[in-house]
Amino acid sequence: MGTKNKKQQQQALAKREQQIRNQPTIYTFNFKDVPSEKYASALERLFSNPDFAEAVRNRNELVRAASRIPHNSPQMASLIRAIQEKDKKLAMNMYSLLVQVNVRSDESYDFLNFGQLLRYYVDYSKPGMQDTVDKLAINLDKVTFLTDALESIVVDVKSYMTTIFDGRVEFNQFDGVMQVLKQMQGFFNFARTKDIDSKDNDLYCEYADSINAYVDKRMKTYSAKHRKLHPQLPGFTQDQMVEAIKLFFGEDKKFNESFIARTESGGCYIDGMKLISNLSEEQTAKLDKLVPRPKEGNSMQKYFLYITDAIMLYYAQEKGFLKVK
């Protein structure tokens, strides 16, 4: 009996020790030391684990239950607490798994700064090697300056778009660019000083400002010449669009501001649905000649914008706003 109890105690201690080892608390780690593919494959296995999937389903059921009762219901507070508790457990499971992958991985990155790489990992006895290293150094400086400029430009672009569209239009095309820039942060930490009062920083800022000013100047002339080669329609007011419809169809009485629709961000375009339903056969044929009818399943909104483009292009040419070669 005594031997059995001792064995049970040993098993309980071993289980307890294993539970402690599976927790992230006792470890130091750096997630960047291990290739991201290692974490991804581990998470895929976790998401396929029946116990984890069941925990997610239970959590989601609580959320659905909360959505079915009034917000001021007495049960709402307890449901929210239960959901938060389950969220914490799910998050801890994923976090603990990532830490375990990190500390147990037999594959890791060994980070060296660029100076050490160029000093100790290059065979300078090879003919022309120093010249090649010098060219590399210059190009790395280019990467630093251009990436810094790109990050600033993307931030400005997103800010301008938020102002122009009042936050109602999502524009995520540059998110990938910003993510890549973040991945290059380690190199920038080597290439650029963090001491803003240093001579190095003064030198960097002096040349960065000079390069940006030169690029701005050249881009203004390029943009002007490019737009001259490829003229674009300007923006139009509601009154101009009404005038354009009258001019295009040669009729003044039945067209008014009620034929103009608004986008969610406040812009205007010609309401194609109302326009088409008020055209004669001759007017319909004239419009169809310029803008083919959309195929089944295609966006009607795009079709209405194409109609607006066609009519406003005619208007701009007739009024001398736009000259097309």
**Closest among 239, 307, 240 to 271, alpha carbons compared:** 307
Output the pLDDT for position 1.
Answer: 47
Q: Kindly state the average pLDDT of the residues 170-186.
A: 71
**Averaged confidence pLDDT in the chain:** 82
Q: Kindly state the average pLDDT of the residues 15-21.
A: 51
Q: How confident is the model at residue 88 (pLDDT cuts 50, 70, 90)?
A: very high
Instruction: Say whether pLDDT at 15 is over 90.
Output: no
Output the pLDDT for position 124.
Answer: 93
Q: Kindly state the average pLDDT of the residues 186-197.
A: 70
Three-point CA angle 310, 251, 282, nearest 5°: 70
Strands in 176-319 per DSSP E: 260-262, 268-270
Q: How confident is the model at residue 188 (pLDDT cuts 50, 70, 90)?
A: low
Q: How confident is the model at residue 90 (pLDDT cuts 50, 70, 90)?
A: very high
Distance CA 19, CA 49 (A): 18
Q: Which two tokens stand for residue 26?
A: 């006792």
Instruction: Say whether pLDDT at 12 is over 90.
Output: no
Q: What are the DSSP calls for 278-313, one per residue?
A: T--HHHHHHHHHHSPPPPTTS-HHHHHHHHHHHHHH
How does pLDDT run across 275-313, given as a tens digit for each residue?
998 988 899 999 999 888 877 656 788 889 999 999 999
How does pLDDT run across 208-259, given as a tens digit for each residue?
899 999 999 999 999 989 888 888 888 889 999 999 999 999 887 889 999 9
Q: Kindly state the average pLDDT of the residues 25-31.
A: 74
**Closest among 160, 184, 182, 183 to 171, alpha carbons compared:** 160
Distance CA 189, CA 32 (A): 15
- Is residue 46 within 8 A of residue 18, CB to CB? The reply is no
Q: Where are the chain's structural domains? A: 2-104, 114-229, 238-319
* Alpha-carbon distances of 121 from 27, 117, 251, rounded to whole Å: 32, 5, 79
First to last CA, the chain: 102
Helix, strand or coil, per DSSP, at residue 144 = helix
Q: Which two tokens stand for residue 200?
A: 């190095």
Instruction: Say whether pLDDT at 265 is over 90.
Output: no
The values of phi and psi at residue 71, to 5°, are: -65, -30
Q: How confident is the model at residue 19 (pLDDT cuts 50, 70, 90)?
A: low
Q: How confident is the model at residue 163 (pLDDT cuts 50, 70, 90)?
A: confident
